[in-house]
Amino acid sequence: MKYVIGIDLGTSAVKAILVNENGEVCGEVSKSYPLIQEKAGYNEQNPEDWVRQTIQALAELVSTCQVQVNDIEGISYSGQMHGLVLLDQNQCVLRNAILWNDTRTTSQCMKIEEEFGEQMLEITKNRVLEGFTLPKILWVKEHEPETFEKAALFLLPKDYVRFRMTGTINSEFSDAAGTLLLHVTRKKWNYDICKRFDIPTEICPPLVESHDCVGALLPNIAEETGLSKKTKVFAGGSDNACGAIGAGILSSGKTLCSIGTSGVILSYEEDKERDFKGKVHFFNHGRKDAFYTMGVTLAAGYSLNWFKETFSPNETFEQVLHGVESVPIGSNGLLFTPYLVGERTPHADSLIRGSFIGMDGSHKKENFVRAVMEGVTFSLHESIKLFRKEGKSVDTIISIGGGAKNNTWLQMQADIFKAKVIKLESEQGPAMGAAMLAAFGSRWFDSLEQCAEEFIREASTFYPKESNVERYEALFNIYEEVYFKTKDLNAALTTFRDR
């Protein structure tokens, strides 16, 4: 039996899975690392934490699965998008990585828009937002000029981990698409953007395809993990591109709902000229010469994790979710908006903050938990509404991530989205997509589609219930109003906090 390993470098943890040639997950190890939040809006991590925990995860996976290491033919990666890792000329990290959910770069975004206007949208197919990589580079240039002067290269999170494991430096198109430096349809760095902001063009790493083999493990990494030095390493993709691959979103008409730390609604695109005018993201897929459109909820699973850690830190998620199935639709008049770190789609607003509305003395913990689940799903539904408005058909949705681990939440998605929702047998999301890129790169299959036919199996299907759909439609109308009615109040509170 042959095997591959998929590594998913998430925001809170790295996960490594061992997958055999039948698509069966034979082992899984997860290792967490801390988030560094020096002040409101700042989110950083130490890249060395990623490397150390990835090596430990691989070592544990190899030792516990008891397979012959020579039978593990390939490794590939999925990773959190947009994060900035700056290296000096000796390839040493210059500062903590600034993450995708960091919102300190509003003024830099304004400068980019002033300089380029709509031209930036034409080049990158995406609006200028705080989460992207270019504003982070400009923030370092402005606020940490000594660090910027030493910067010889930037890498995205999973690309840095792969570099440390192979000694090879590169990025690939699905992750590069989230930097605001890539011409998305031409698949080339746009050096004019760099030059206009006095950024050395050499700072951009070489680009490869997601399934390309970029080298093998360094001898010391092979020794530390127990893997063979001959194990091939493949480039991999962004977490959302790999999530799409791992869910079989490889042709038009398929839609993905992924609830991790953030949440996404993702749809496959073949037409590179499709123009959503920046209303949703448009990125390169992990499948060669393909694309995907995506709406994002910044605090999806993070909202539920925040609630758990704040109010029930000693309970498991299963305990926290206990009883939500018996709470009626609308959580007995309690509504939650998941704007804990701002919002992305449809409101590109880094300052808006979350809220519970309608609280009274009768509400119990399970009301609040269900309200969080409903609020997150409403936010994702706003992206589906945008897709449908642009003429895309969204009638079947594959759900992965935390939202696919609970049947009540899956039924909630079917009712709110008014669509058939499918749960997969093996819900590994981006890690499975990374493993599939390694399998395809290792030439187990002639195409990713062929790999998907072997690796991906449906487990259960949830259909919308008409009576639930009607109630949720009425509640969703109220939810949409909350943003506009609280925006000014949130701005005032932010000003008060920052005095």
Active site positions, annotated = 239
The amino acid at residue 240 is N
143 is in an annotated binding site: no
What are the backbone angles phi and psi of residue 335, rounded to the nearest 5°? -125, 135
Length of the chain: 499
Question: What tokens does 453 get?
Answer: 């036919």
Please, how many CA atoms are within 13 Å of residue 358, restricted to the half-sphere of its CB? 17
What is the rounded CA–CA span in Å between residue 180 and residue 186?
Answer: 13
Residue 127 · residue 17 · CB < 8 Å: no
Q: Which of 394, 389, 430 is nearest to 414 (CA)?
A: 394
Q: Give exposure, 360-386, as e/b (b: 16+ Cβ within 10 Å).
A: eeebeebbbbbbbbbbbbbbbbbbbbb
List Cα–Cα distances, 43 to 35, 391, 399, 402, in angstroms. 7, 36, 27, 22
436 is in an annotated binding site: no
> Nearest 10 degrees: CA dihedral of 320, 325, 328, 333?
20
Question: What tokens does 251 get?
Answer: 């042709």
What is the rounded CA–CA span in Å between residue 303 and residue 300?
Answer: 5
Question: What tokens does 194 get?
Answer: 């760099």
For the chain, report the end-to-end CA distance as a whole number of angstroms. Answer: 63
Strands 72-79 and 237-238: parallel
Residue 94 · residue 137 · CB < 8 Å: no
Residue ranges of the binding site for substrate: 81-82
Residue ranges of the binding site: 81-82
